[in-house]
Amino acid sequence: MNRELLVKFGDSIKVKYNSFDIPISEYALVSYRGKPIGVAFFQSSNKYCTTAIVLDSDGDPLLLEHYDDWHFCSISEMEELRKIYNWEFPDQFHFSFSPERMIIRNEAIRTGNKELYEAFLRERYPDDADAELASFDSVIADTTQVSGAEAADFFKRHGIVALVADLTFSDPDTIFTAKIMSDCEAGDEINESEEPIGAYVPISIVAGRDLLWLDVSEIRQAYGGGRK
């Protein structure tokens, strides 16, 4: 399939702007013969996309790319394209970005119901189940609902500057995982817009919240299992 046959379908999913508030790139659904078949990354006002992930005639994901002086795509932009594609076409989801899996995992952690998550994994992702469940008990133990003040104190004591939201960060049931990383590393990952699951967010996102779910399992591992 030729990328020049793809047509933007509907409104843009996400638009990036420069410091002058001028759009420089966008992600959008694309169609072929009137049927939406994938997601593409467009730069500036280019008529044709730089790269796209679409469904081929067999229903399998296909990557289309074209690079020149006016068409280029960074690693982070390609990763963003993949995440958006997986969000828009859930039947093609890889284990890591399945929204259904993340929603069930979230409920299992908050309620302490490991059996709920295990049953889902054994049915839908049997090859990944054992590895995923190996540390699940410790994740449940290290995830608690805390006040905003308690979270702020924890972030300050451990130098936390970034979190990962398992659902969209505006959802009150979202579990935030505290990440160990430098300000520079966090700056490369953080995106404060409403993104698909697994988005890195700054700690300011949860500032002022009365309550939030916080997973400190990575911090606990960094301290060798000791409670800090």
Residue 183, CA distances (Å) to 159, 188, 223 in order: 10, 9, 20
Q: Would residue 228 count as lying in a domain? A: no
160 with 195, same domain? yes
User: How many domains are there within the chain?
Assistant: 3
pLDDT in tens, 9-67: 999 999 999 999 999 999 999 999 888 999 999 998 788 999 999 988 777 778 888 87
Tell me the whole-structure pTM to 2 decimals. 0.60
Dist. CA 64–CA 204, nearest whole Å: 37
| CB neighbour burial string for 25-54, b if at least 16 within 10 angstroms, e if fewer | bbbbbbbbeeebbbbbbbbeeeebbbbbbb
84 with 8, same domain? yes
Q: Would residue 59 count as lying in a domain? A: yes
What is the domain extent for residue 30?
Answer: 3-90
Tokens representing 10 are: 């509907």
User: Higher confidence at residue 197 or residue 2?
Assistant: 2
pLDDT at 50: 92
| CB neighbour burial string for 141-167, b if at least 16 within 10 angstroms, e if fewer | ebbeebeeeebbebbeeeebbbbbbbb
Number of CB atoms found within 10 A of residue 202's CB: 17
Q: Would residue 227 count as lying in a domain? A: no
pLDDT in tens, 78-120: 888 888 887 888 666 567 656 678 889 999 999 999 999 999 9
